[in-house]
Amino acid sequence: MANQPPDLPLYRAIVEYDGSDLLGFQIQAEGRTVQGELERVLLRLCQDPVRVIGAGRTDSGVHARGQVIAFSAAWKHSLQDLHRALNALLPADIAVQSLELAPPGFRPRFSATKRWYRYQVGLWPHRSPIRSRYAWELGPGLDVQSMNAAAAHLAGEHDFASFGQPTQGIVTVRTVFSVLWHQQDLYLYFDIIANAFLRRMVRNVVGTLVEVGRGHRSPDDVFSLLERRDLSLSAPPAPPQGLFLMAVTYPDDTETGIDSRRLRSVA
């Protein structure tokens, strides 16, 4: 880990957070962020600055059930004590779900092989102030079959320049392993698993696929968008509150791995 003495133990944790009142994962000059809150608590516990690195830089308002972080720290007690201490001091909208020692050379972002995002759309007919905190309220009437036909064009390796910008470098090619819309009660879920994502890629994809569901675009328009590599042609991004980082997979890891059989069962 950068800026940390090599003799300190390296920890890996799975973090869940409600992003509604957070300015994203990455630390900012002002305002609450996930990284900022974690580093604040670790400074208090370890009495030294601790740098926290995350698997993904989720935007302001985006949630996570399976964000993976890593940090090196001079902690003199047990893993269980550190886990309990973190959750005792973290604010109510952030919690550490698991904590373990990381393998040598582990980097939460660059060591990852798959990432699973879920977007939630609300199909209820009237406004719901509570449910809308975690979903995009669109109401009934979307053509889910056409949305899945459009989403099928995204599977495989493509240049996704029409749907996002790289967070680092200039390469916009990504590989999508699985993509699916499915309805459960009054929610419509969009699950997408890829090796990596561009900035705002999922939200731009969802916004475009919703236009297909509303009949404003055809499913084949998505294939055309991929070919044209022009971000200005995609729909405006879907709002952040419906997006969740569900899980991240690593080569040596089974506990945080993504099992495609869980896609329909995890809400």
Is pLDDT at 165 greater than 50 in this prediction? yes
CATH number at 10-101: 3.30.70.580
pTM higher than 0.85, yes or no?
yes
Distance CA 155, CA 175 (A): 7
Q: Which two tokens stand for residue 37?
A: 């809150």
Q: What is the pLDDT of residues 36-80, one digit of tens each?
A: 999 999 999 999 999 999 999 999 999 999 999 999 999 999 999
Distance CA 245, CA 62 (A): 8
Residue ranges of domains in the chain: 10-101, 114-251
What average pLDDT does this structure show over 156-162? 97
| pLDDT value of residue 252 | 75
| pLDDT value of residue 264 | 40
Radius of gyration of the chain (CA): 19
Q: Which helix (H) or strand (E) holds 70?
A: strand 63-72
Q: 10-101 with 114-251: one CATH topology?
A: yes
| pLDDT value of residue 104 | 87
What average pLDDT does this structure show over 155-171? 93
How many CA atoms lie within 13 Å of 227's alpha carbon, on the beta-carbon side?
6
| pLDDT value of residue 91 | 98
Of the candidates 59, 230, 252, 259, the residue annotated as catalytic is 59
Is pLDDT at 115 greater than 60 in this prediction? yes
Predicted confidence band at 167 (pLDDT cuts at 50, 70, 90)? Answer: confident
Is residue 259 flagged as an active site residue?
A: no
CATH number at 114-251: 3.30.70.660
